[in-house]
Structure 1
């Protein structure tokens, strides 16, 4: 195995334990105490996956995750003592692919790392080779750049916001249930509530006020192809 894991954790005990379990599975581990040193690694020799603590001295994990997502889709598994649902939602919306609450099982962490790496190896060629533009009314998505334009203005969106827009735009007028969107955007191993979907929709509506993103009462959401019909 020739894959490298970037571990960002300021607790030396947790850092040593996680490093040991990952190394036992054949991973190379770059163990770091701060997000600042992790950013230096990202700009130089970025790892294949990040295991990221949120509560760090200096730059916190939220900010680091946001910075990484500006240019990279590399998997990020968040580990944190913050176990409130809102903390998980924020972490995932800023670009985290998974969220484990401390204390956690190192074996479970290793299993999730392997799963995300496998998924990333499948998705990576598609993301790197695709330059497809997805058009839905006044919304344009560039899948290769992971950028969104609405009414000819570029809109800054998070990874999860982009994924939801892409799902809805590729099948205009189709009503998606909250459960469908939750699985497709967050993955089928996400254990949070479907409130995450509602919160994401609120953010998108705030950023694009005229976006014809409709609520299908008692079911979920759909993107209308014609705004006048909403």
Structure 2
């Protein structure tokens, strides 16, 4: 499979080194020096992974990451000179999948790129034969085979993680899931970040489906209410 990788880095030396190493692996590279240019690429090309610097002129990497996560679950590897734990956590909570502190080994970056591309490919080609094709909960209907969501009779665009969250909640309506359970089931047990990522995902779902009966279970997590079940 031919992978396309976007690189967002304003330091020309680092950008050229990263581009060179990734090109040697056979990847098609789109390298830019600003988040604004990267956003144009995102809206015109389908990337399989982004390598993203945080400290950029104009729009910073955090804002770019946040925008991408509104529409896609494409892997994002953050590279940054900021090595404080709070910066790493913020980057991951805004949707980054990995974080490398400068200076870093280009070979390590290549290894991480390969690992995330493998997971991305597996997620997009996962065999759904064991799933029930249709899952219904009140006004929410999910087609698990086609990964399509409908609410109040209208199809709703969802990212992969948004759909997975809906599916987990809809399969066991009225059950209270802890944030930790949802984090492991949606992101995987190797995810490094806090359970605030769950809150952010629920917030996005509530924004897309204003009457969706996802209830907050204070101090615990969330449940999808279905009075008919």
Q: Do the structures match in fold with TM over 0.5?
A: yes
Matched, 1:56 2:60: no
CA contact (8 A) 2:81 2:103 kept: no
Unaligned runs of 5+ in 2: 128-132
Following superposition, the deviation at residue 182 of structure 1 comes to 1.1
| Counterparts of 2:28 and 2:45, CA distance in 1 | 13
Following superposition, the deviation at residue 80 of structure 1 comes to 4.0
Matched, 1:32 2:36: no
| Counterparts of 2:203 and 2:70, CA distance in 1 | 21
SS in 1 for 2:125: helix
TM-score (norm 2): 0.69
Q: CA RMSD in A?
A: 4.1
Stretch deviating more after TM superposition (198-207 or 1-10): 198-207
Alignment size in residue pairs: 221
Q: 1:38–1:144: structure 2 CA closer, same or farther, 3 Å change rule?
A: farther
CA contact (8 A) 1:175 1:216 kept: yes
CA contact (8 A) 2:93 2:194 kept: no
Q: 1:140–1:202: structure 2 CA closer, same or farther, 3 Å change rule?
A: same
Q: 1:179–1:104: structure 2 CA closer, same or farther, 3 Å change rule?
A: farther
CA shift digits 1:194-215 (9 cap, x unpaired): 2332444355456656533344
TM-score (norm 1): 0.69
Q: Which residue of 1 aligns with 2:112?
A: 112
Residues 82-101 of structure 1 aligned to structure 2 (within 5 Å): 83=87, 85-90=89-94, 92=95, 96=96, 98-101=97-100
Unaligned runs of 5+ in 1: none
Following superposition, the deviation at residue 116 of structure 1 comes to 1.7
Q: Which residue of 1 aligns with 2:130?
A: none
Q: Which residue of 2 aligns with 1:188?
A: 189
